[in-house]
A and B are shown apart, each in its own frame.
Chain A
Amino acid sequence: MTHTLDERLDSSAPATTAPTADRAEALRHLISATGPRRRTRLRAGAAVAGGLALLGVGSVAAADAWGWTSWWADDAVSEVTYTLPSGAVCEGILGNFRGAAEEVQAAEEFMAQPDLLDRVDVETHYADARAANYVAILDDGIEVDAGPGTPYWSADDRYAQAVGLATSDALHDHLRDVGVLERLSYEAESRCPGLVPAELRSREIRSDW
């Protein structure tokens, strides 16, 4: 029975799709797209004012421990890790890119670059943030200065915003340069412990930044 049974078992495998050149190309893309490039962390360029630095260290496992809640988190294009002025570590993910196909592809490739921060000018954005005017509205309606050096200033909060703005600006500049910018949108989720002091959370602060 051995021979017949073996033949019957061997030939019982369900049919599979046929390999083609297009499929091979799609597989190569899938290997690349699921690989470390899309999990790239923003790396440090030059240290920015105040001794701040963006870090490219840490493991994916550590990032996973953050427990992202966005539905697209498992397909995030980039993972971002950087230190805040306070020394706290801020982590974020970027994903759910939407728009025209060429636009999305170009955006994802741009955001996944290992040397992305060479193209992202956080220092200038943070300097702009520090130079802007801020006004806090107190409980009695009086307006007071809320800029750097005041109790209402959160360097961590502004720095995190500068990272986001710098990244977004660089991305849109790139898409314009390659002529594919149409209607791109994407989402970010970040975890920045202690980013905003409790006394600032409910305080209205206006700025011209």
Chain B
Amino acid sequence: MSSATERLEPALRSNADALLAYLERRIGPDDAPDALAEVMTVAWRRERDLPAESDQARMWLYGIARNVLANAHRSRVRRHRLAHRLRILASAAPSAAADDGAEVRSAIAALDPGLAEIVRLRHWEGFSLAEIAQILDEPASTVRSRYSRAREQLAAALGEPTEAASSSRVRS
């Protein structure tokens, strides 16, 4: 087994739950297992590109997942036989309690898609802006300014006070 293979399997194991949750949030629990199978297949195919550091590997996997999602949005997610059991389990598993964030999700969805993705990665997946810049393969300064713009638009849409958008909670 190659060194990359030896590193990829633990990277997939440690990130599989988070990747599945990420995909479920984007395309729903029914299609997410198939998308995850595609993410894993692509990751194995590109295993030689796996970064050495675990944090970087995590960003790399999310980058693959993001590309898979882009393809999934263009065409219906292909059904993977390999994901069948996971799909059954996911549909049978109790979901988290229904949340009351519909209004906020609508406001996020109304943003420019690029801004919305930054907000989702920051607040739904818990990435720092520096990490998001890596996933999106964009300069960190660009991501920071776009995030700031997104917050201003969200504050206006949700009736929040339009103060300065900078936040001590923003990790960068």
Q: Which of the residues A3, A8, A22, A27 comes within 8 Å of B158, measured between beta carbons?
A: A8
Q: Which residues of A contact B45 (CB under 8 A)?
A: 60-61, 64
0/1 per residue, B21-46, Cβ < 8 Å to A? 10011000100010011001100110
Q: Is the interface of A mostly helix, strand, loop or mixed?
A: helix
Q: Does B70 contact A (CB under 8 A)?
A: no
- B67 CB to nearest chain A CB (Å): 16
Q: Does A26 contact B (CB under 8 A)?
A: yes
Asked if A30 and B83 make an inter-chain contact with CB atoms under 8 angstroms apart, the answer reads yes
Interface residues of B (CB under 8 A from A): 1, 5, 8-9, 12-13, 16-17, 20-21, 24-25, 29, 33, 36-37, 40-41, 44-45, 47, 78, 80-83, 85-86, 89-91, 93-99, 101, 104-105, 108, 119, 122-124, 151, 154-155, 158, 160-163, 165-169
Asked if B104 and A12 make an inter-chain contact with CB atoms under 8 angstroms apart, the answer reads yes
Q: Nearest A residue to B164 by beta-carbon distance? A: A2
0/1 per residue, A77-104, Cβ < 8 Å to B? 0000000000000000000000000000
Asked if B99 and A31 make an inter-chain contact with CB atoms under 8 angstroms apart, the answer reads no
Size category of the A interface is 35 or more
Q: Which of the residues B24, B44, B99 comes within 8 Å of A35, measured between beta carbons?
A: B44
Interface residues of A (CB under 8 A from B): 1-6, 8-20, 22-24, 26-31, 33-36, 39, 60-61, 64, 74-75
